[in-house]
Amino acid sequence: MNMTQTSTTITVYELLAHLIDYPSAHLPTQVRECAAALKMQRSRAARPIGYFRLFVEQVTLNDLEELYAATFDLKPVCYPYIGYQLFGDTYKRGEFLARLNARYRESGFVVQGELPDHLGMILRYLARTWDADLVTEGMIPSLERMIEQLEGNPYRDLLRAILAVLREQG
């Protein structure tokens, strides 16, 4: 993607970041907005986000919160932290976090409320600054690994949508 991202692409990245965060009462609205934007772009991500939207619209917020915790907080293979997915809990993850923080500082991006390698945080950064190396060397292999672990889990569709968007932009 070139340096001048379209407003729709920026919106999609922001919405995907919200969708991968801990669920809130706004999730059904956000997933509908994201599905509409992806459909408008004729993105391959439209189908998996559509499946995720159907799931979100059929369950309660409490059920979403429980599924999110079981998927991303209790299973180490699915922690939504790219550095963890790449390096586990090793010093290499610390180096990755330091390099990521430096990239954020250089671009003027401010990390709030989450570790810098959280999937949602990186999506927010990518909405502002395209970073092809981070996408190809970090995001894509991490998402592929996470998707493999989530057979039968509705969050797999969300991760597939994120992966499709990143591949289309690359």
Indicate which CATH number applies to the domain containing 110.
1.10.3480.10
- The letter for the amino acid at 52 is F
- Here the tokens at position 105 are 């500082």
> What angle do the packed helices 155-169 and 46-58 form, to 10 degrees?
150
> Which stretch of DSSP H or E encloses residue 72?
none
**pLDDT the model gives residue 11:** 87
Could you report the per-residue pLDDT of 104-131, keeping only the tens digit for each?
Answer: 999 999 998 899 999 999 999 999 999 9
pTM of the model: 0.93
The total number of structural domains that make up the chain: 1
Domain with 71 in it: 7-169
114 part of a folded domain: yes
88 part of a folded domain: yes
1 part of a folded domain: no
Greatest C-alpha distance within the chain: 42
Distance CA 20, CA 121 (A): 10
